[in-house]
Chains A and B, each alone.
Chain A
């Protein structure tokens, strides 16, 4: 699926926000109704929510610096491309750690922690990073 850099960044951030929302809703439902089975009893899911919140907070802080770098970007006369990829450093490279944590936990909970599917996850994350890099390059220079 072909995606632009902005669309990709929005998608990754929305996945992170949805993860926080669905875990918080489940924990809140259990607390409000005094449920016997509580999602908060699962330490990995609680840790994922905390890590995702921290990652999004870092994303919010770093986005201000990226905004400044975008404003300071200069394009030489006669050239229609930027000189560096600095303005795009925040887009997906910052949020990729959050996405990796989010995808890893469902994979571990459904498929288990065995090494049988390990190559699948490793390959998928490598592919995702490669696609993100190609999308940034395409945004700067056109079709790679």
Chain B
């Protein structure tokens, strides 16, 4: 049997799964965490809009926007506990996205009688 050389360096698996992910995010796959956050936002935002449109015929875009951004904030805060997962400017962008979607949500309300 012929063993081919590995195409990448195997991670050190003796220190737990979080250490493996940490090695991966700081080394071979730098954009892992931002892509996870982007996937979380899109799966909630697009999925929510699509299912609501199918069920009711219309969709509340601003509400799904703020739900998706707050859903993205939770894993971003979890990633911030340990070093190596997320950078400060990425976390600030997630916070900024929350503020922007909140502005969209609160301004996207219909007129009342007063």
Binds A, one of B3-11, B13-21, B39-47, B73-81: B73-81
**A33-B96 contact in complex given A41-B88, A102-B103, C-beta closer than 8 Å:** no
- B: residues with CB less than 8 A from A are 73, 77, 79-83, 86-89, 91-93, 95-100, 102-103, 106-114
Contacts A37-B91, A42-B88 given; does A106 touch B108 at CB 8 Å: no
Assess the A103–B111 pair: CB atoms within 8 A: no
> B residues within 8 A CB of A29?
77
Contacts of B82 in A (CB 8 A): 36
A residues near B95, Cβ cutoff 8 Å: 22-23, 26, 39, 45
Distance to closest chain B CB from A108 (angstroms): 9
4 smallest CB-CB distances across A and B, nearest first, come from A106-B96, A37-B80, A36-B83, A11-B106
Size of interface on A: residues with Cβ below 8 Å to B: 36
Tell me what chain A mostly uses at the interface: helix, strand, loop, or mixed: helix
| Chain B residues positioned under 8 Å from A69 (CB to CB) | none
Which of B79, B99, B109 has a CB less than 8 Å from the CB of A105? B99
CB-CB nearest in chain B for A111:
B96
List of A residues within 8 angstroms of B103 by Cβ: 15, 99, 102-103
Instruction: Please measure, in the bound complex, the distance between the C-alpha atom of A34 and the C-alpha atom of B112, giving whole angstroms.
Output: 45
- Chain B residues lying within 8 Å of A12, measured Cβ to Cβ, are 106
On chain B, the residues within 8 Å of A22 by CB distance are 73, 95, 98-99, 102
A3 on the B face (CB < 8 A): yes
Residues of A within 8 A of B114 (CB): 4-7
Who on chain A is nearest to B94 by CB? A26
Chain B residue nearest in CB terms to A5 = B114
